Amino acid sequence: MDFDFTGWTLVFDLDGTLVETAPDLHAALNHTLAAKGLAPVSLDSIRMMIGDGAKALIRKGLNHNEHPIDEDEIDSDLWPTFIDHYLSNITRLSEPFEGAVDCLIDLKASGATLAVCTNKAQNLAEEVLNGLNLAQHFSSIVGGDALPTKKPDGAHIIETVRRAGGQADKTIMIGDAQTDEVAAYDAQLPYVFVSFGYGNYSGESKTPTRSIDHWRELRQALICLAQPD
């Protein structure tokens, strides 16, 4: 269906929405746990741990092992170990979800401004997007450590839109977790939930919402939210 997205800003989460990053995060986490003599976490388990940044992922890996959480140990030992391994292999196994690239190209051709709002650290987000040749599609990329706040605070999305040159009243958020859903509501934005990612949808959203199971469904979901009448 034809639709002119000129003037609209579409803000995407990264992990679990744009890119299947779980395999490389899985490898980095298990490398970090092994260095402490701890048991690995399965790939299926890690999918529900992603979304709040590397340190949060490490904490969840420790909890999985019933290992005490020591923030000093995380900061001085575990996090550097994780980051060193992850940066060295950041796009070894990661790849855009099926249909994502074609959809981004199509939306830009229809006039949309695209942006990324992620709780992933800024340098890691840029490494992933550059490594997969995706950064070129986005007018702004704002990581979880780029601002004093991050999702689920809606200010994270609003600043992402501002940096992209967009307007909040013509913005839609696309993500895979309740962190994104709550942030969209906090920013008073419509929201598209992608079911193939690493989180879930509350089913009780207070903002206009659509759910999709594949990137090929995104355009129609966006049109429904952009012209609700």
pLDDT in tens, 17-31: 999 999 999 999 999
State the Cα–Cα distance between residues 55 and 74, nearest whole angstrom: 7
Which pLDDT belongs to residue 44? 87
End-to-end, the C-alpha distance of the chain in Å comes to: 16
Q: Which residues are catalytic?
A: 13
User: Domain-by-domain residue ranges, the chain?
Assistant: 9-20+95-226, 22-88
Residue type, 20: E
Residue 146 vs residue 50, higher pLDDT: 146
Is the separation of the CB atoms in 118 and 144 below 8 Å? yes
Which pLDDT belongs to residue 200? 84
Judge whether residue 224 has pLDDT over 60: yes
Token pair 């391994």: residue? 85
Token pair 């079911």: residue? 195
Closest CA to 21 of 78, 89, 88: 89
For residue range 154-175, what is the model confidence (pLDDT) as tens digits? 999 999 999 999 999 999 999 9
Domain 9-20+95-226: top CATH class: alpha beta
Closest CA to 36 of 89, 80, 88: 80
Token pair 């990264």: residue? 14
Which pLDDT belongs to residue 204? 74
Residue 214 vs residue 56, higher pLDDT: 214
Average pLDDT over residues 9-22: 97
For residue range 64-111, what is the model confidence (pLDDT) as tens digits? 899 989 899 999 999 999 999 999 999 999 999 999 999 999 999 999
* Largest Cα span, the chain: 58
Percent of the chain with pLDDT over 90: 86
Residue type, 178: Q
Task: Give domain 22-88's CATH architecture.
Answer: Orthogonal Bundle (1.10)
* Burial group, residue 66, by CB count within 10 angstroms (0-12, 13-18, 19+): exposed
State the Cα–Cα distance between residues 1 and 206, nearest whole angstrom: 27
Average pLDDT over residues 187-200: 94
Which pLDDT belongs to residue 229? 64
With cut-offs at 50, 70 and 90, classify the pLDDT of residue 189. Answer: very high
State the Cα–Cα distance between residues 227 and 90, nearest whole angstrom: 38
Looking at every residue in the chain, the average pLDDT score rounds to: 94
Average pLDDT over residues 130-143: 98
Quick one: tokens of 73? 């140990």
Judge whether residue 1 has pLDDT over 60: no
pTM exceeding 0.85: yes
